[in-house]
Amino acid sequence: PLPQMFYGSYGWDPLLILLQIILIQCLYYLTLGGCLTLLDFLMAVPSSLDQFFSATLCRMNTTGWICMSSVLLSAVVGSFFLLFVVERTKKCLDFTATLFLLHLCACWSFKGFP
């Protein structure tokens, strides 16, 4: 009864958890890329990989607002992805923290610590 309380009817399945983390990460970057591309097009700003991984672009100018708005929109859409991929509200915070921790590591490896 105790393991089912934490892991549900599936039990402890590390492969399932790893695949869910990878899927959530991919969906987040796909959504972030879509939002960035759409807002860059609408605001006539050139697209750049720096918009994904560089904290230096998050300033109070057009590019900064595009980056911040895209991250916010991706987080909102990502909450619906969590609903369908994770399917357990007790795990959503864990998966969200993992998502942004992995994103921090990606930013760190791309441009150094923000």
pLDDT over 60 (residue 106): yes
% of the chain with per-residue pLDDT over 70: 89
The amino acid occupying position 101 is: L
Phi first, then psi, for residue 86 (nearest 5°) are -80, -45
| C-alpha torsion sign, points 11, 15, 18, 20 | negative
Task: State the pLDDT at residue 63.
Answer: 82
Neighbouring C-alpha atoms within 13 Å toward the C-beta of 111: 13
Query: What is the token pair recorded at 71?
Result: 């991250």
Query: What is the token pair recorded at 8?
Result: 């549900």
Task: State the pLDDT at residue 29.
Answer: 94
Q: Tokens 């960035």 map to which residue?
A: 36
- Any residues with CB less than 8 A from the CB of 27 and at least 6 apart, and which? 78, 81, 85
Task: Give the residue-averaged pLDDT of 40-64.
Answer: 83
Query: Lowest-confidence range among 38-47, 56-65, 71-80?
Result: 56-65
Query: What is the token pair recorded at 70?
Result: 């895209």
Which stretches of 60-88 are DSSP H helices? Answer: 62-85
pTM of the shown model: 0.82
Task: Give the residue-averaged pLDDT of 87-109.
Answer: 88
